[in-house]
Structure 1
Amino acid sequence: MIEIERKFLVASEDYKKEAFAKSRITQGYLNSIPERTVRVRIKGDKGFLTIKGASNESGISRFEWEKEIPVDEAQKLMLLCEKGVIDKTRFEVKIGSHIFEVDEFYGENEGLTVAEVELGSETETFEKPSWLGKEVTNDNRYYNSYLSKNPFMNWK
């Protein structure tokens, strides 16, 4: 399956009052090279194993495969992950016909908040909420796999 998404920084916390869902997420990487990342995620009481390919030239599209796994298996796989665990809360916000996933990061990535919107095509238009900031779709620094190795707190 091809994932098509755009990524933005968040300019204000107004998204919180618009969110219809919120969940805590921890994730680690069994492999974090950009050509094929393999991620283990625990979201609430569910576990997931995800494989992603490299992004295309625009940074908007890439292959993604995800499978739900038992949370106890995800916890065991987390022990095998590379150094650098991502810890965040995801807020889901419906704007027009799209759902924005807004991730507020903790730990070494504290202070970073990023919003993503999945699209049906690279040219699909969408309503942009007032709290949406600068687009960072094609900036690899905002990939979770990059943040696990090069945390936001070390960027300055």
Structure 2
Amino acid sequence: MSAFKIPSQEQGLLTHSPVPIAGNICYEIAYPQLVAKQAAAAQMIVTVSNDTWFEHSLAPWQHLQIAQMRAIENAKPVARTTNSGVSALIDSKGRITALAPMYQPAQLTGLVEPKQGTTPYNWGLNWPVTLLSLGLALFGFCRNFTGLFPHRLKS
């Protein structure tokens, strides 16, 4: 009989190979902060997903694009495997280096170059984007509602 326990808040790396791997299941790859916490100590990211529920929509391709963003943000390669969606190998710059067809049994092979280290995204996560967005919103508010930058119409 198996014993189950509640996992800790910090999910560890997969360390049964010579390369430390950040493992993600299904849609976990869509959460940048979750992936970044693991990827900082890992040398590659692996995600396993069941994309059957997407059926024949564009969603499997969008799911793949999300994985490409995690590769870019963390500068780590991603191996993405699905039972029915788009399986792919993605390099640390977000480029797809190998791609398997949807809804067909396939064996995907390719070279994956593990990467060490962290990126500015790992250090600050979304703060630069958040600060820029707030700054632009404040600028727009000042421009439109306070008359700080009045619009001039030419006659």
Band the TM-score falls in, shorter-chain normalisation: under 0.3
Greater relative contact order: 1 or 2 (C-alpha under 8 angstroms, separation 6 or more)? 1
The normalised TM-score by structure 1 is 0.24
The normalised TM-score by structure 2 is 0.24
Which of the pair is proportionally richer in helix?
Answer: 2
Which of the pair is proportionally richer in strand?
Answer: 1
Give 1 or 2 for the bigger CA radius of gyration. 2
